[in-house]
Amino acid sequence: MKLYLTGRPCTQQRHCYFIEGEGLSFIVDCGYQRCYGEDALPHLTGEQIRAARYLFLTHSHENQSGALPFLFSNGFSGRVVLTTETARQISFPLDDPILLEALSLPYTESELPGGLFVKWGRSGHCSGSAWYRLREGKRALFFSGDYYTRARIHASDPIVGMTADLAVLDCDYGTQDGENDRDENVDRLMDAISEALADGRPVLLPVPKYGRAQGILSYLSERLPQTDIFGDTHFITELGHLDANAIWVRPEAQDLLGAIFVRSIPETFVALGVYFVSDPQLDTPYARDLAESLLACGGRVIFTGTVEPNTHAAALLHAGMARTLRYGIHCTQTDMLRIAEQNAFTRIIAYRSDFAPTQAVYEI
């Protein structure tokens, strides 16, 4: 069995792994990274794409699933394996996908045609996100996806007692300090929002369509309960979808979020409050216009995740018109090593860490 790191050179920012097994080949994730221009797509060959019998998606974020059209237009004829919720979230239509919830319960190993055995669980990153243990014969691989046990909203199934010859583990925050910084980061974000509002300045939070925003919203509701909160149509729709997402949301979080009132963003005026727009890089004209309107009124723009180069978000940061205050949703090296200690992984790949990949192909 061989594993090819076809997401290079974008490392953890564009996940895509091609696995050549003894009896079949498959792909795990197919990320797209728009800010890299002509190098935005995975480094898969046409032969690899056509040979893959399955594509496993850990979740819907673009750097995991955005190259789906590229795969199908270049001859992928296999089946996509994913959760029902991830299938709902991606914009690309799928013909006859394999839905994990219909395949098995979490932690239960099931066999796919061709002799590939699958075990999965919830990763806690967003609704629908999953980790995988994939076995062919005596060889096993583990993919954590963007596994995160301290998510405020989304439920996870602990990665404990697993075995694998090679494990690809999330370590997006690298060797930075982890647990203590998470609470401090939340404090800094809430303090910055509170100070801006006290000064009469509205706050814009550009957030991903799925995942991080609901955690931030829960803290706002607790710490700044009198604040008016506004959201775009997608943000409000996803809050209303929580009942259908019960499997993916912690029970206590569902009750908390269900009690929060979020207003639609006004079209003709700017009110004091916190604005959620489901566009983390401010790619759309709507998001850019909203940012400009708030900034013109003295508002503040705060990014809570990675700002990609060559985006409108990056331009605002460079001009000193916005700031970044991270809201944690990924593992640090400390977190990753704790996961490793609770499992039996012969070899580990973890980007941005002391276990970062040193080669493009790994033989297992």
Residue pLDDT, tens place only, 205-253: 999 999 999 999 999 999 999 999 999 999 999 998 877 778 999 988 8
- Average pLDDT of the chain to the nearest whole number: 93
pLDDT band at 174 (very low <50, low <70, confident <90, very high): confident
Q: Are residues 53 and 192 in the same domain?
A: no
> What percent of the chain shows pLDDT beyond 70?
97
pTM for the whole structure: 0.95
CA distance 298 to 6: 44
Residue range 327-334: average pLDDT?
92
| Tokens, residue 321 | 């018109």
Parent domain of 348: 2-173+330-363
Domain shared by 205 and 264, yes or no:
yes
Higher pLDDT, 269 or 9: 269
What does each C-alpha distance from 213 to 110, 206, 304, 329, 363 come to in angstroms? Answer: 33, 9, 9, 11, 39
Q: Any idea what the CATH number is for the domain that residue 354 is in?
A: 3.60.15.10
Percent composition of the chain: helix, strand, coil (DSSP 3-state, to 5): 30, 25, 45
Same domain, 183 and 168: no
Tokens at residue 233, please? 């149509």
- What domain count does the chain have? 2
* C-alpha to C-alpha distance for 33 and 22, rounded to whole angstroms: 31
pLDDT digits (tens, 9 = 90+) for 111-128: 999 999 999 999 999 999
- pLDDT(8) > 70: no
162 shares its domain with 247: no
Residue-by-residue DSSP string for 177-210: --HHHHHHHHHHHHHHHHHHHHTT--EEEE--SS
SS3 68: helix
pLDDT level of residue 36 (50, 70, 90 thresholds): confident
318 and 357: one domain?
no
**What pLDDT score was predicted for residue 48?**
97
pLDDT in tens, 64-114: 999 999 999 999 999 999 999 999 999 899 999 999 999 999 999 999 999
Q: Which helix (H) or strand (E) holds 122?
A: strand 116-122
**How many residues can be counted in the chain?**
364
For residue 10, is pLDDT > 90?
no
Same domain, 281 and 236: yes
For residue 334, give the amino acid letter. Answer: T
- Is residue 184 domain-shared with residue 308, that is, in the same domain? yes
Residue 337 and residue 317 share a domain: no
| Rounded Cα–Cα distance for residues 146 and 143 (Å) | 9
